Chains A and B, each alone.
Chain A
Amino acid sequence: MAEQQNGDAPVLVLRDLVKHYQVPGGTVRSVDGVDLVIGRGEIVGLVGESGSGKSTIGKMAVALISPSSGSVELDGVDLAALPKRRVRAMRKRFNIVFQDPGSSINPRTTVGDAISEPLRIHRIVPRRRIDERVAELLEQVGLRPDTAARYPHELSGGQRQRVSLARALAAGPELLVADEPTSALDVSVQASVLNLVADLQQNLGFACLFISHDLSAIEYLADRIAVMYLGRIVEVADRRDLFERPMHPYTDVLLQAAPVADPVEQRGRERVVLRGEIPSPMNPPSGCSFHPRCPLATEVCRTTEPALRTVQRADGRTAQVACHLVGDDGVRAALPAESVPVG
């Protein structure tokens, strides 16, 4: 897979991105100061519990909602500061695939119309070549060209996600945001859609922000992974580093929560199980927002908010983490061992 090329400017830079919603009774801090860089041709996985603000980031990255503050820079151009008309012209360079295959395609249009819409809007190919291009795109996502004449309700969920992918990639974007594209699908179909995303990315070379709560999907696909908790990014690391040596206690617990395929191993595993629920983003805890659930929390965690800082591991690779307890070498005390019987 493509590594982030040094010296090559990143496709997308999110800088101190904030989205607050005013609701009766207070402010929901859906996204509360997020920095993230996505390199050209890189797949960045964004993982977190529901309500952590993943989807909000995805929608801000493709200018579907505007940030309360901060910037979304595509090739150095801040989308949030651009007039609507200019943003619209730039939309051929980024697109999004949504989670629910049932509602993400207009039920009144044919598959062909859905896929060709970006081509027509941005005049990517001449009118007489549109059908040809649609057939190409359909084949690229593993569907037969005659699917173009069908309506979304005639297709299965997996087929619809393929159509959504074809549509999102029709204009040849540099960046694709995939917002839980497999979460609503059957497990058997999930794998084939994940494979498709990987193949397409390799062939077309677009950068991808892959949002999911499914760790195995993220592990399969992502070059780099960002972990979110309550509107903030708590850790960013290369895939292998994150899975082998998680730095943030939350990442650690999250990985331990994911089941292992081998039942014998699964039964014998020592796991730290989190107590309590994710706090309300309307009233986040003081200091580190994870401290009420963190088994290692100390006084400083309760009072001071940790910034996302860069650490250099012993092997020389860098990563980012927002935790007081992680040293500049990326090392932290182990979580207290606690054997949890698994039913």
Chain B
Amino acid sequence: MSLTTPVPSVHAPRSAKRSARWRVLRKALRTPSGIVGLTVAIGMVALGLLAPVIAPYPAEATDFGALLQPPSAAHLLGTDELGRDQFSRVLYGIGASVQIGLLSVLIAAIVGVPLGLVAGYFRRLDSVIARLLDVMLAFPNLILAVGLAAILGASAMNATIALAVGAVPGFARIIRGEVFRLRGLDFVSSAVAAGAGDGRVMFGHILPNASSALLVQITVSIPHAVLGEAALSFLGLGIRPPAPSLGTMLSNAQPFLQTAPWMAIFPGLVIIAITLAFNLFGDALRDALDPKGRRR
């Protein structure tokens, strides 16, 4: 009998691997919301990172000769009640927001992913962990973060931790669901049958196949964290003045809403832009991952 099976030639095995991984991203970027979201998000991150280079004034430099100035050539976004350049402060504020947002999501993922893996994989631990997550989810995220920040004290680090704690259940739940979905598939049984231990099955076989869902969760968690950071800073529980933050700028602007509305408008618009950008991109990714491939 003939055992030869025609094998279509493949020249670049590496490109195959990349195509599998990047297919979803490419599909997401074919939608307007995906491309706009990613562009704006990358732009915002770049602006934040480059703040020290771009900003025309130091973030905390006061100029008592130019208080509450409306936008002008000298001060693109006007000045605040201490004569600080709003444009420079917004740039530094973006940097702070993005940094706290990304860091808190990273911490949440590092804690939440193993928690979700363990909960989904070991049925006995699941009831305990699931209950714990339910309790955490029962608290509105912001209240939890405010409470934690109040206990830990106001600082950028503590705000990051508080926001991370609030985001952990989201990660754990997504991963737990993925484990449930994947655990029943034959390739997981096949790994067990091959002699793989629990660690190899979880991290070598289940987690790589949950990476797309994880990516989506990261993308949709970032805007929450950015918004949370702004809220905490607004309430005086985040970044401490005089260091610039979009939230504290909004808070400062309150008494001057009628006389100097630009103080609130520009930081507010930037918060909206960051949040919207990440949300749009996250939604596009999620749609691209949907195997039913609904096209709209």
User: Which residues from chain A sit less than 8 Å from chain B, CB to CB?
Assistant: 59, 62, 64, 88-89, 91-92, 95-96, 98-100, 103-108, 110, 117-118, 121-122, 141-144, 146-147, 149-151, 153-154, 156, 158-159, 162, 164, 167-168, 171, 192, 195-196, 199
Whether B190 pairs with A164 at a CB distance below 8 angstroms is: yes
CA of A2 to CA of B8, assembled, Å? 37
Q: Check A159/B7 contact, CB under 8 A, given A105-B187, A105-B190.
A: yes
Whether A107 pairs with B209 at a CB distance below 8 angstroms is: yes
CA of A89 to CA of B196, assembled, Å? 10
| The 6 A-B residue pairs with the shortest CB-CB distance in the complex, in nearest-first order | A142-B3, A149-B13, A91-B195, A104-B186, A98-B186, A108-B208
Whether A108 pairs with B190 at a CB distance below 8 angstroms is: no
Query: Taking CB as reference atom, which chain B residue is nearest A122?
Result: B195
Contact partner, B194, options A91, A108, A110, A151, Cβ 8 Å: A91
Whether A159 pairs with B16 at a CB distance below 8 angstroms is: no
Query: Taking CB as reference atom, which chain A residue is nearest B194?
Result: A118
Instruction: List chain B residues, Cβ under 8 A from A62.
Output: 193
Instruction: List chain B residues, Cβ under 8 A from A168.
Output: 193
Contact partner, A167, options B13, B190, B208, B209, Cβ 8 Å: B190
Query: Taking CB as reference atom, which chain A residue is nearest B184?
Result: A103
Closest CB-CB distance, A93 to chain B, in whole Å?
10
B127 at the interface (CB under 8 A from A): no
Whether B187 pairs with A88 at a CB distance below 8 angstroms is: no
CA of A73 to CA of B197, assembled, Å? 22
B254 at the interface (CB under 8 A from A): no
CA of A117 to CA of B188, assembled, Å? 13
Interface residues as binary, B1-44 with A (CB distance below 8 Å gives 1, 0 otherwise): 11111011010010011001000000000000000000000000
CA of A168 to CA of B192, assembled, Å? 12
Instruction: List chain B residues, Cβ under 8 A from A154.
Output: 8, 10, 16
Instruction: List chain A residues, Cβ under 8 A from B3.
Output: 141-142, 192, 196, 199
CA of A20 to CA of B20, assembled, Å? 41
Whether B191 pairs with A150 at a CB distance below 8 angstroms is: no
Contact partner, A121, options B1, B8, B10, B200, Cβ 8 Å: B200
Whether A149 pairs with B186 at a CB distance below 8 angstroms is: no
Whether B20 pairs with A117 at a CB distance below 8 angstroms is: no
B185 at the interface (CB under 8 A from A): yes
CA of A206 to CA of B116, assembled, Å? 40
CA of A92 to CA of B195, assembled, Å? 7
CA of A7 to CA of B241, assembled, Å? 87
Whether B189 pairs with A98 at a CB distance below 8 angstroms is: yes
Instruction: List chain B residues, Cβ under 8 A from A64.
Output: 189, 192-193
Instruction: List chain A residues, Cβ under 8 A from B190.
Output: 96, 98, 104-106, 164, 167
Whether A103 pairs with B20 at a CB distance below 8 angstroms is: no
CA of A171 to CA of B185, assembled, Å? 22
Whether B193 pairs with A151 at a CB distance below 8 angstroms is: no
Instruction: List chain A residues, Cβ under 8 A from B189.
Output: 59, 64, 96, 98
Whether B197 pairs with A88 at a CB distance below 8 angstroms is: yes
Instruction: List chain B residues, Cβ under 8 A from A108.
Output: 20, 208-209
Q: Check A158/B187 contact, CB under 8 A, given A91-B194, A95-B193, A107-B209.
A: no
Instruction: List chain B residues, Cβ under 8 A from A162.
Output: 5
Query: Taking CB as reference atom, which chain A residue is nearest B190?
Result: A104
Whether B194 pairs with A167 at a CB distance below 8 angstroms is: yes
Whether B17 pairs with A151 at a CB distance below 8 angstroms is: yes
Whether A159 pairs with B17 at a CB distance below 8 angstroms is: no
Whether A158 pairs with B195 at a CB distance below 8 angstroms is: no
Instruction: List chain A residues, Cβ under 8 A from B185.
Output: 103
Query: Taking CB as reference atom, which chain A residue is nearest B10?
Result: A150
B205 at the interface (CB under 8 A from A): yes
Instruction: List chain A residues, Cβ under 8 A from B8.
Output: 154
Interface residues as binary, B259-282 with A (CB distance below 8 Å gives 1, 0 otherwise): 000000000000000000000000
Q: Check A142/B4 contact, CB under 8 A, given A91-B194, A121-B196.
A: yes
Closest CB-CB distance, B185 to chain A, in whole Å?
5
Instruction: List chain B residues, Cβ under 8 A from A143.
Output: 5, 7
Closest CB-CB distance, A82 to chain B, in whole Å?
14
- Can you list 13 A-B contacts with CB-CB less than 8 angstroms, sorted by A residue number? A92-B195, A95-B193, A103-B187, A108-B20, A110-B17, A141-B3, A143-B7, A150-B10, A150-B16, A158-B5, A164-B190, A192-B2, A195-B1
Whether A149 pairs with B209 at a CB distance below 8 angstroms is: no
Closest CB-CB distance, B187 to chain A, in whole Å?
4
Query: Taking CB as reference atom, which chain A residue is nearest B20?
Result: A151
Contact partner, A106, options B13, B187, B197, Cβ 8 Å: B187
Whether A192 pairs with B1 at a CB distance below 8 angstroms is: yes
Instruction: List chain B residues, Cβ under 8 A from A196.
Output: 3
Contact partner, A110, options B1, B13, B208, B209, Cβ 8 Å: B13
Instruction: List chain A residues, Cβ under 8 A from B193.
Output: 62, 64, 91, 95-96, 168
